[in-house]
Structure 1
Amino acid sequence: MVETGTVAGGMPYLRTGSGPPLVFLPGITAHHRVPAGPDLRFQLAQVRPLARTREVWWLNRRPGLPTGTSMADLAADHAAALRGLFGDAVDVLGVSTGGSVALQLAVDAPDVVRRLVLVSAACTLGERGRRAQRDAARHLRAGRPRRAAAAMMGIMGAGPLTRGAATAAGWLLGSTFVGRGDPDLQAVIDAEDAFDLCDRLPAITARTLLVGGAHDGCYGRALLERTAARIPGARLILFPHKGHLGIGPATARPVLAFLDEP
């Protein structure tokens, strides 16, 4: 069963699977509407490996974000939504930009995060990732979605060949991947550009797992290791030949094992 809709504040969600709840905060998205059509199929493909043993709540940022929105503002929206939905601490998993929100949530609202999983995420953007997102924002503002998508997808691969292929795929997908400059996408890019939580990581109290690729083009190995080292008791799993990871069977296995630990 798949259920879609909105929660308080208009935040879009989809819910699938059964078991203990797991809140899934996705990476950057072209818009903040309820996913449908190909977008829904793409998001379901990410959460289904986790939905075998969990009731997964995919929860996106709210629509209508004002200019100047910060990562702390996004985390506050999520904290209010999770308190309303669950009334108690819940497991939270964030991928990429969703991981930035999840980190901010764990620092600012520790009462809502039971366990924290970060996939391809760190306490701030790496220089390559920051440059790619700034380029994407600039191209979107100029009405060039193909160039924007190429810039965003170009950091996904693990090396020159795979990054080149990803760049070409971004060019072909164009507005299918990044839309045509939705203000909410711009607001999130700007919020993440200013995001730097590295000095506040020792305040995180939730048990934490980080999963990433050793050749992540958005953050880089050193930044992933630095993030894990500064979170008390955090565990880091690096896939040696991978780049910017999403959720698939290989990443879902250690995530579920961590979440199911006593």
Structure 2
Amino acid sequence: MSLPPLAVLLFTPRAGEITGSARWSAMRMLRPFADRFDVRLVNRPAGLPVTIAMPELAAVYAERFAAAFAGPVPVLAISTGGAIALQLAADHPKLLDRLVLGGTAATLGPPGRRAQRAYIERALAGRRPSPALADIVTPSPLGRRLLRPLLWLSDGASGDRADAVAVLHAEDGFDLRARLGEITAPTLLIHGAEDVVYSLELARQTAEGIPGARLVVYEGRGHSATFTDRRFARDALAFLHEPG
């Protein structure tokens, strides 16, 4: 018997099919979901304009959903992928029947916006951009100093960063707070209390704005630690399998 599909939206620096180490890392995190769902990583195509806005980006994803799925599907969306999923749920509600969001909200918080703008500036200047994200990965000054060289190495020596710039530019201008009431898909938000990319207050505002949405908070967890927490898959799967 075939498993039902689960569309997954993540941020990856490269557009197109997610392959290699990026796919391995994503599927390792999603392993608990693969026992119950046909997990499908949905990603943007290459070559989008670097000035694309979130509604336009969501329209691109809507085309991908329509081509990949026969009807509405549950969606698991994390961080930047969650921002895209929120816009998708507001603009194209017939494509989703249930939505789980991890570490995201209806707009970026100031630290997240600063880090992503620094990433964009470095990328456009031809520099490896990922060290700019160290400030939102750990609050420890020592941890940031140790992390920056590792992030620098993770970028690789070459490559076009335009695809990453495009999606982060869209996220930079994203603010769906005035339209949250239009989202009809049952929604669960899972958030770390120490998240600085999307603050807990913004997550609360988002949950309060979506009719019937629920918010689960992991105390002591930052942005990335929310998704690797053992409770994340358990809580998400319980919601995805609720009747109705």
Tell me what 2:214 maps to: 235
Distance 2:69 2:37 in 1: 15
Letter in 1 for 2:5: P
Alignment of 1:135-150 (within 5 A): 135-145=118-128, 148-150=129-131
Q: Aligned-pair distance for 1:254?
A: 0.2
Q: Which of 184, 191, 195 is equivalent to 1:212?
A: 191
Structure 1, unpaired ranges of 5+: 1-17
Distance 1:172 1:96 in 2: 21
Tell me what 2:164 maps to: 185
Letter in 1 for 2:78: V
Verify the 8 A CA contact 1:141 1:181 in the aligned structure 2. Answer: no
Q: Does 1:55 align with 2:38?
A: yes
Tell me what 1:168 maps to: 146
Q: Which of 13, 20, 26 is equivalent to 2:4?
A: 20
Q: Residues 165, 171 of structure 1: CA spacing in aligned structure 2 closer, same or farther, 3 A cutoff? A: same
Distance 1:78 1:236 in 2: 25
Q: Residues 84, 58 of structure 1: CA spacing in aligned structure 2 closer, same or farther, 3 A cutoff? A: same
Q: Does 1:256 align with 2:237?
A: yes
Distance 1:176 1:33 in 2: 19
Deviations 1:91-125 (A, max 9, x none): 01111110000000000000011001110010000
Q: Residues 37, 54 of structure 1: CA spacing in aligned structure 2 closer, same or farther, 3 A cutoff? A: same
Alignment of 1:81-230 (within 5 A): 81-145=64-128, 148-157=129-138, 160-161=139-140, 164-165=142-143, 168-174=146-152, 176-177=154-155, 180-230=159-209
Distance 2:94 2:84 in 1: 15
Q: Which of 42, 47, 67 is equivalent to 1:64?
A: 47
TM-score normalised over the length of structure 2: 0.91
Q: Sequence identity, in percent?
A: 41
Q: Aligned-pair distance for 1:172?
A: 1.7
Letter in 1 for 2:168: I
Tell me what 1:10 maps to: none
Distance 2:30 2:65 in 1: 18
Structure 2, unpaired ranges of 5+: none
TM-score normalised over the length of structure 1: 0.85
If asked which structure has higher relative contact order (CA below 8 Å, sep 6+), I would say: 2
Distance 1:60 1:42 in 2: 15
Aligned residues: 239
Letter in 1 for 2:114: R
Q: Does 1:75 align with 2:54?
A: no
Q: Residues 63, 155 of structure 1: CA spacing in aligned structure 2 closer, same or farther, 3 A cutoff? A: same
Distance 1:210 1:192 in 2: 18
